[in-house]
Amino acid sequence: EKEDIYIDYCGMFILVLGLLVGSLMPLGGAASSPDTGTGHGGSHGNKDPGYAKNGNGTTYSKKPFPVLSFDYEHVRLPFEISLWVLLASLMKLGFHLIPRVSSIVPESCLLIVVGLLVGGLIKLVGEDPPVLESKIFFFYLLPPIILDAGYFMPIRQFTENLGTILMFAVVGTLWNSFFVGGLLYGVCQLEGHKLAYVDLLSCLLFGSIISAVDPVAVLAVFEEIHINELLHILVFGESLLNDAVTVVLYHLFEEYSSVGLITVTDVFLGIVCFLVVSLGGIVVGAIYGILAAFTSRFTSHTRVIEPLFVFVYSYMAYLSAEVFHLSGIMALIACGAVMRPYVEANISHKSHTTIKYFLKMWSSVSDTLIFIFLGVSTVAGPHQWNWTFVVATLIFCLVARVLGVVGLTFVINKFRIVKLTSKDQFIIAYGGLRGAIAFSLVYLLNPEHFPMRNMFLTAIITVIFFTVFVQGMTIRPLVDLLAVKKKQETKRSINEEIHTQFLDHLLTGIEDICGHYGHHHWKDKLNRFNKKYVKKCLIAGERSKEPQLIAFYHKMEMKQAIELVESGGGSKLPSALPSTVSMQNIQPKKPSQDRALPQLSKAREEEIRKILRTNLQRTRQRLRSYNRHTLIADPYEDGWNEMLIKRKKMKELEKKMNNYLTVPAPPPDSPTIARARLASDPQAWGLKSVTESIPTIKVDLASPQSPESVNVVDEFSKKGSQPKEEEGGLTMKVPSPAKQRKDKTPDEEPQQRLMRCLSDPGPAAEEEDEDDPFLPQKKSW
């Protein structure tokens, strides 16, 4: 409990710190006014009085060298930007330290409140609070969020629900715009004197701006409630794809509002424009995506700048689309989605992590800044409050949304296999949040053409506040109340993956038998085209021929191996496998084969087997992790083929290891494995104590556990070592020979090695690569 209080105080402290930082803004503004010259005056007054008297004829009086000076103007802009970013991050940090608050109120609300406070502070000081300039918003704050969303978009669910998403995005947004715009015009006309100057086109423009669901707000709220994937992708997909509609409507109405008239031709051109804007945006994005994928094919020697290509190409896609007034958001999404499968096959694991974390970091900072600025702009922005207009807007928006969703779902459900229930519909309607994009679009309006701009601004801010605060805060308890299905956190298992692929092929086959060219048929054709032509161009080396199942399997193994390492070695197995089932249980019993070795008496055999089994149990647990460690040796850095060779060797080795206690010296060309095994598993040393309780194990190598033991006997008889030596050869016992083995030549006798092992004083105290036991020794390969 003391901990909680302590953490609460820390949170408060950080918040206060953040507010202090925020209050530096106005001071920064104020400090820019005094001229920099005054700073020079104080420091050198008494130092050199002689110079000051030198004023007779000379106009120039040499000032002493300024030791310390104050020059704020110099760094003003970057300083203020950094201050804002710092403020945003500190706020975020503070909120998460106070768990009680952050579980009730979504982050976006808290940030807006902070923005309001900071804006208020700035105004108190007498300065003008900065407003969220549209250029900054559209060029710097919005792209990271969209790229993050697009790059990590779950393609499978998106394409499965594409029809539904498009319906909501296109038809839904159109319906909303016209409904809200039209009804508002009616209200304005009815109201009379104050609002009569608002004409139809302006109302329609306002309607189109305000009806678009905002991806930033949706992401901010939906991410915290962990709703099931279907609903998440529906609402989120809609918020992304409605950008094209918004762009077209906005430009259409803005163009012609000065004229005041729209003809049928204009409408027709508008439709054409919509197709051009959306498809054009996608094409531009896809082109840049392919370029990025192609570039990543050649980056194997310059791994460090790989993430840069991803970011820069995507940003260029966005900007290029904006040049032609195409939909930048769709370009960005298309670019991220197209490049991802190919880039991920080409880049190193570290680059992948870098990309992921950079995108998350940038989008998080952007998101925070946007909400804070929204708060500040509310305080700053010129307002014109009109009760009728604002309330009418709010009501119409809500009503339009509900009607739109219900109506569209009715139509859509006729074509869907998984129907949308009324619970789903409610969440979709309720999740239609508005956000900063709408605000920025209104801000862009020219006040001369649109004298009612301030009123629009006020109305939009009210709607945004309402949706973010009221809807954002209540959606979480509502989701719980309605028992909406939440996101399942289960890990993807290999069985599921196998069967997903199996199902794909099965359904394609059935479609072919029925002669029906459906969904699966075309998907299969696309996959085959992808495999045959595209992958060969865009993916480097061997990875281009790798089937998805294998890629998945390797990724899974990597993940498990990393987990194993992080959980401290073989003693603690990852939670996915809390059982004692091992490979031994699965392999079918092999029929006993004829042994080329002298037989032991049955009793003797039994005794040996029993002893070995008791110890093998524990060993097997540790050794089972053996197979996975090898993958940690950064396979994607070293080349695919090498890795395959390594794995083959590993497999052979594991077979031998699984069968007896006295692990023979592994083949000399695998010191990596030994070091990997030993270094990661300090508990392996514990085996020493076990052996003491057991009578000397005179391991007769002729006592076979499985036919494979025959191999080892052969190997050792070739090398001429005596079985007795093996007794000391519990390689688990001493680490140093294993580690030193890396410098030896391959054909060293195991005998000599063991001799050294026995006479060796002990492991060297410092091993230079303890921290990084899994790097392969390049020279040994």
Which residues would be at the binding site for other proteins (CB under 8 A)?
413, 417-419, 488, 490, 493-496, 498-503, 505-521, 528, 542, 545-547, 549-550, 553, 557, 576-589, 613, 616-617, 620, 648, 651
d(CA 600, CA 704): 10
> In whole angstroms, how close is the CB of 776 to other proteins at the nearest point?
20
C-alpha span between 92 and 15 (Å, rounded): 9
Radius of gyration of the chain from Cα atoms?
35
Neighbouring residues of 447: CB distance < 8 A, sequence distance ≥ 6: 453, 454
The smaller minimum CB distance to other proteins, of residues 546 and 642, is found at 546
Residue with tokens 């909680």: 4
Asked if residues 638 and 646 have their Cβ atoms less than 8 Å apart, the reply is no
Residue ranges of the alpha helices (H) in 532-686? Answer: 535-538, 548-566, 583-586, 602-624, 626-629, 635-638, 640-657, 671-680
Residue number, 103 or 587, with CB nearest to other proteins: 587
Residue 705 C-beta: closest distance to other proteins, Å? 12
* Minimum separation from the CB atom of position 607 to other proteins (A): 16
Amino acid at 459: A
Q: Smallest gap, in angstroms, from Cβ of residue 749 to other proteins?
A: 31
Compute the least distance from the CB of residue 118 to other proteins, in Å.
46
Task: Write down the least CB distance from residue 490 to other proteins, Å.
Answer: 6
Query: Minimum Å distance from CB 228 to other proteins?
Result: 11
Q: Which residue number, 265 or 495, has a Cβ lying nearer to other proteins?
A: 495
Q: Whole-number minimum distance, CB 505 to other proteins, in Å?
A: 5
Provide the 8-state DSSP code for 684.
G
Specify the residue, 455 or 650, whose C-beta has the smaller distance to other proteins: 650
State how far the Cα of 437 lies from the Cα of 216, in Å rounded to an integer: 8
DSSP 718-756: HHT--HHHHTT--TTT-HHHHHHGGGS-TT--HHHHHHH
Cα→Cα distances 501→161, 479, 497, 527, 539, Å: 19, 33, 6, 12, 22
Q: List alpha helices for 381-493, DSSP H.
A: 387-412, 422-430, 436-443, 453-465, 472-481
Least distance (Å) from other proteins to the CB of residue 514? 6
Looking at the Cβ atoms of 264 and 514, the one nearer to other proteins is 514
Quick one: 511 or 727, whose CB is closer to other proteins?
511
- For the chain, the residue count is 781
Distance (Å, rounded) from C-alpha 201 to C-alpha 204? 5
CB of 601 to other proteins, least distance (A): 22
Closer to other proteins by Cβ: residue 587 or 711: 587
194 or 572: CB nearest other proteins? 572
Here the tokens at position 121 are 């502070």
Nearest to 5 by CA among 93, 105, 99: 99
Shortest distance, position 700 Cβ to other proteins, whole Å:
22
CA 197-202-203 angle, to 5 degrees, is 90
Indicate the residue among 52 and 503 with the shorter CB distance to other proteins.
503
Q: Provide, rounded to whole angstroms, the least separation between the CB of residue 389 and other proteins.
A: 43
Question: What gap in Å lies between CA 405 and CA 234, rounded to an integer?
Answer: 12
CA distance 81 to 90: 14
Question: Do the Cβ atoms of 599 and 712 come closer than 8 Å?
Answer: no
Output 266 or 546, the one with its CB closest to other proteins.
546
Instruction: Let me know: does 217 contact 172? Beta carbons within 8 Å.
Output: no
CB of 594 to other proteins, least distance (A): 23
520 or 677, CB closer to other proteins?
A: 520
Take residue 512 and report the two structure tokens written for it.
């072919």
DSSP bridge pairs for 395? none
Helix (H, G, I), strand (E, B) or coil at 293: helix
Distance between CA atoms of residues 720 and 433, nearest Å: 78
| 531 vs 756, beta carbon nearer other proteins | 531
574 or 763: whose CB is closer to other proteins? Answer: 574
The CA dihedral of 452, 458, 461, 462, to the nearest 10 degrees, is -120
* Distance of closest approach, residue 343 Cβ to other proteins, in angstroms: 21
> Shortest gap between Cβ of 506 and other proteins (angstroms)?
6
> Which CB, 7 or 498, lies closer to other proteins?
498
Q: Give the integer Cα–Cα distance in Å for 227 and 426.
A: 13
- Contact of 777 with 749, CB cutoff 8 Å: no
440/139 Cα distance (integer angstroms): 12
Minimum distance, C-beta of residue 508 to other proteins, in the bound complex (Å): 6
Residue 571: other Cβ atoms inside 10 A: 15
d(CA 86, CA 23): 12
CB of 261 or CB of 514, closer to other proteins: 514
List the structure tokens of 597.
Answer: 């070795």
547, burial (CB in 10 Å: exposed 0-12, middle 13-18, buried 19+): exposed
Q: Which is nearer to other proteins, 353 or 617 (CB)?
A: 617
Choice between 134 and 571, CB closer to other proteins: 571
Closest distance of CB 366 from other proteins, Å? 34
Nearest to 233 by CA among 409, 428, 461: 428
Q: Rounded to the nearest 5°, which phi and psi values hold at 486?
A: -95, 170
Q: Which is nearer to other proteins, 512 or 748 (CB)?
A: 512
DSSP string, 215-275: HHHHHHHHHHHTB-HHHHHHHHHHHHHHHHHHHHHHHHHHHHHTTT---HHHHHHHHHHHH
* 47 backbone dihedrals φ, ψ, rounded to 5°: -75, -45
* Least distance between other proteins and beta carbon 504 (Å): 9
